[in-house]
Amino acid sequence: MTDNPTDEALMARVCEGDQQAFAVLVERHLPRAYAIARRVLGQQADAEDAAQEAFSKVWTHARDWKPERGSFAIWLGRILVNASLDLGRRQTARRQLGDADAVLAQLADHAPDHASSYICQQQAADIEQALQRLPTQQRMAVVLCYFEEHSNPQAAALMGLHVKAVEGLLVRARKQLRVWLNRHREEHV
Amino acid sequence: MNNAEDPLVQQLRSSPRPQPRPDLAAQIIRQATALPQITGWRQHIQRALDELSYGWQFKLASLALCGVLGIFAGQWQDTTDDTELLVSAQLLDSALYTEDL
């Protein structure tokens, strides 16, 4: 066995019920999957639920994955995007915007290296709050294209949309974010 | 690509990436591997159930609408002509020699 097996090799073993191979896949892909779900859903518990749902599906439906149809990362991405959007729709009714202090506290807990200064934390909290005010589809497009740096066609493939539709979502999201962030900045100057 | 020079996009990209709590991977692995893997005929049944359960409200509503339309169509139809039924009964009678009974 090689030290760093490919996703494809690991998935072949997962199909045979190899739990160790599955563990390696989870460790490898969880940080990115969690970051996407966390930014789209806004709540830590919801993001953990989405990640749990996505990886559980990878385990139970491992034989559905066909290497010729695309890489494992793309397959996992689609499962995660669908799980996050489903959870997002369910939470829309009950979602309440968390106050800035709670967001700050969470950011401070999870990213002590990056958000070392108060200003940085405040900016991150502002972005987080503005992001959570966007409709779920726009938020997903922003997270995939700007935070995770996918190309528009890649994001479109993950979301099951046409590239033009994703571009439209991004244009509307940028416009809205710019308005909210500028207004917020003016209020606090 | 993706408006990389836009200050707003740069601001978004510079915000810290959320990190999962350290024990989340272990929890996911434990809970996921406790589930049975879907293989063979179970995979087909699962897929059929998934297909069926997708938009089940609309499927049920369509079925109910078809039923209602069927009932109305039956109500509005002319009285059925039972000549063919009579002929069949007479043929059966003659075949079984029961017409005089």
For residue A149, the chain B residues in CB contact (below 8 A) are 2, 13
CB pair distance less than 8 Å for B20 and A177:
no
Q: Does A174 touch chain B (CB under 8 A)?
A: yes
What is the ipTM for the molecules in this complex? Answer: 0.76
Chain A residues closer than 8 Å to B36 by CB: 60
- Among A65-69, A116-120, B35-39, B89-93, which is the least confidently predicted range? A116-120
- As a whole-number percent, the residues of chain A with pLDDT over 70 amount to 82
| Cα distance between residue A159 and residue A137, in whole Å | 9
A104 phi and psi angles, rounded to 5 deg = -60, -45
Higher pLDDT, residue A26 or A182? A26
8 Å CB contact of B15 and A55: no
Stated as kind and residue range, the H or E segment containing A37 is helix A19-41
Which DSSP state fits A42? -
Of B27 and B51, which is predicted with more confidence?
B27
Instruction: Report the predicted TM-score, pTM, of the whole model to 2 decimal places.
Output: 0.68
**Locate tokens 């002929």: which residue?**
B87
- In this predicted structure, the answer to whether residue B55 has a pLDDT above a threshold of 60 is yes
Residue A27 to residue B27: CA distance in whole angstroms: 11
